[in-house]
Amino acid sequence: MAGERVAGNVIELPELRDRVRVFRDRAHAGEILAGMLDGFRSSRTLVMAIPAGGIPVAAALALRLSFPLDVAVVSKITLPWNTEAGYGAIAFDGTVRLNRDLLPRFGLSEKEIEAGKTATAGKVKRRVEKFRGNRPYPDFIKERVILVDDGLASGFTLLVGVEALKKIGTGEIVVAVPTGSAGAVRRVAAEVDRLYCANIRGGWSFAVADAYERWSDVSEEEALRIFDAALSTG
């Protein structure tokens, strides 16, 4: 796509740097990413979305590039008093990572931490069953995966998904996100082969929602509807 900037293994759109409200919605963001990823067209590539917010982005991207779509279920381990904030994450293969830098700030007991891990593992298991059932992953998951979410704030949850993909032997891992904080982009890029982020933003504060004109949480039911529709047309 014309106008891309490449720095190391990070590819961005410089005209969108540090801007807000650059995407109409998640589907529009997926179409923009598809343009950036057009060089992968006709390759053996699997697009994997992180539910729930990553599914509308990934569905639009996969449709535009005629790639198969799947899910990589990863979920935050959230605080007992704030379900928006997390201190770790669990992935579809059982990979667990705790954010040891954050944990001391919260004063959680070991019992509370274990309860959070148990609840999150149950949520991940339920989502895997809901979105995938017993379908095996395609063999070429070990060749190249494009892992998609709707944005990178800290990047911690997505990194747990990357770790899970590495454990199952994926050869090339490409991350594609519409928007990301500059710090998170650097952290994630260090762990993957390539990272595409259309809208990188610096500064002290960052909210994924600020990149979108229309933003709301994606319910599990809506994500499943979009996912099933994408599978039926793919």
Q: What band does 160 get if pLDDT is binned at 50, 70 and 90?
A: very high
| Selection from 4, 15, 70 nearest residue 37 by Cα | 4
Domain boundaries, the chain: 5-72+140-233, 76-129
At 168-184, the pLDDT tens digits run 999 999 999 999 999 99
Give yes or no for residue 185 having a pLDDT over 80: yes
Q: Which residues of 204-230 are buried (b: 16+ CB within 10 A; e: fewer)?
A: eebebebbbeebeebeeeebbebbeeb
CATH topology assigned to domain 5-72+140-233: Rossmann fold (3.40.50)
Give yes or no for residue 76 having a pLDDT over 50: yes
| pLDDT the model gives residue 1 | 42
Compute CA distances 190 → 117, 159, 230, whole Å.
26, 10, 31
At 15-32, the pLDDT tens digits run 999 999 999 999 999 999
| DSSP character string of 105-160 | HHT--HHHHHHHHHHHHHHHHHHHHHHHTTPPPPGGGGTEEEEE-S-BSS-HHHHH
